[in-house]
Amino acid sequence: MTLAMIITAIASGVLVGALLGLFGGGGSVLATPLLLYVVGIDDPHVAIGTSAAAVAVNALINLVGHGRGGRVKWPCATVFAVAGLAGSFLGSSLAKQVDGQQLLLFFALAMAAIALSMLRRPKGEGDPQVHITWQLTLKLAPLGLLTGIAAGFFGIGGGFLIVPGLMAATGMTLANAAASSLLSVALFGAATSANYAASGLVDWPVAGLFILGGLAGGWAGLRGAGLLADRALLARRLFAGLVLVVAAYVAWRAVGAWA
């Protein structure tokens, strides 16, 4: 590992950790492109497996901060996350069978979907006093399973699906959904990385450096989330624009390598 790789891996971790702290769902989507095109990992499958491991740890760290702030709806988050675990194993198993460049093209499409979802304005403020019921459990579990499959296949945290899924199933606020989504992001990432690691598709030294950077980035992101509370929608839309640009670049590179 070169000095340049060490520096870029840490810096990439800082960026992704900060985005996870700021936005919860969708914040981890840049991890794989950063590992491929900035850090310099050649194999798309290794980049996805490594990013899943790093994002899982960074999400867990940010989850602790949001949990202390009282923003996580633990019962709802737990039902969604546990239901999605099996799905994340299934999705990541399917992804390992797909050609790396084809997988990146699918990944670019997922990035575009994430960006578009972040551009939408929430329909309402939501209910900050949501409590789990059997009716909510029956809505959360199937949504969690489907989201886990998508998260495992694309090698992303899946927060862009988790956040609207939690809001649609329970009626909780955007802030609660973004914070609660981190439990699923952590568990889905852990399951996906474990599946990739079983095939030798995780670069653990790079993942460790990425996580190290994420510690600092997550702390900054959590502080920034409070400061941006009044301009959260504007911040999400600016980030969505960046994701769209990166998605176009990933698609261009994937098509060029596949052609």
Task: Say what the pTM is.
Answer: 0.84
What is the structure's pLDDT at 259?
60
pLDDT band at 157 (very low <50, low <70, confident <90, very high): low
Instruction: Let me know if 229 is exposed, middle or buried by CB neighbors in 10 A (0-12, 13-18, 19+).
Output: exposed
Domain that holds residue 193: 3-258
Residue 155 has pLDDT above 60, yes or no: yes
**Helix boundaries (H) for the chain:** 3-23, 31-34, 44-68, 74-95, 100-119, 134-154, 159-170, 174-197, 204-227, 232-258
High-pLDDT (> 90) share of the chain, %: 37
What is the structure's pLDDT at 150?
86
Number of domains in the chain: 1
Residue 40 has pLDDT above 90, yes or no: yes
Per DSSP, 121 falls in state P
**Other residues' Cβ atoms within 10 Å of the Cβ of residue 37:** 15
Angle, nearest 10°, between helix axes 159-170 and 74-95? Answer: 140
What is the structure's pLDDT at 75?
94
What is the structure's pLDDT at 185?
87
Q: What is the pLDDT of residues 168-209, one digit of tens each?
A: 888 888 778 888 988 998 999 899 999 999 999 999 999 999
What is the structure's pLDDT at 38?
94
Sign of the C-alpha dihedral computed for residues 7, 257, 51 and 74 taken in this order: positive
> Which range has the top average pLDDT, 117-126, 169-178, 210-219?
210-219
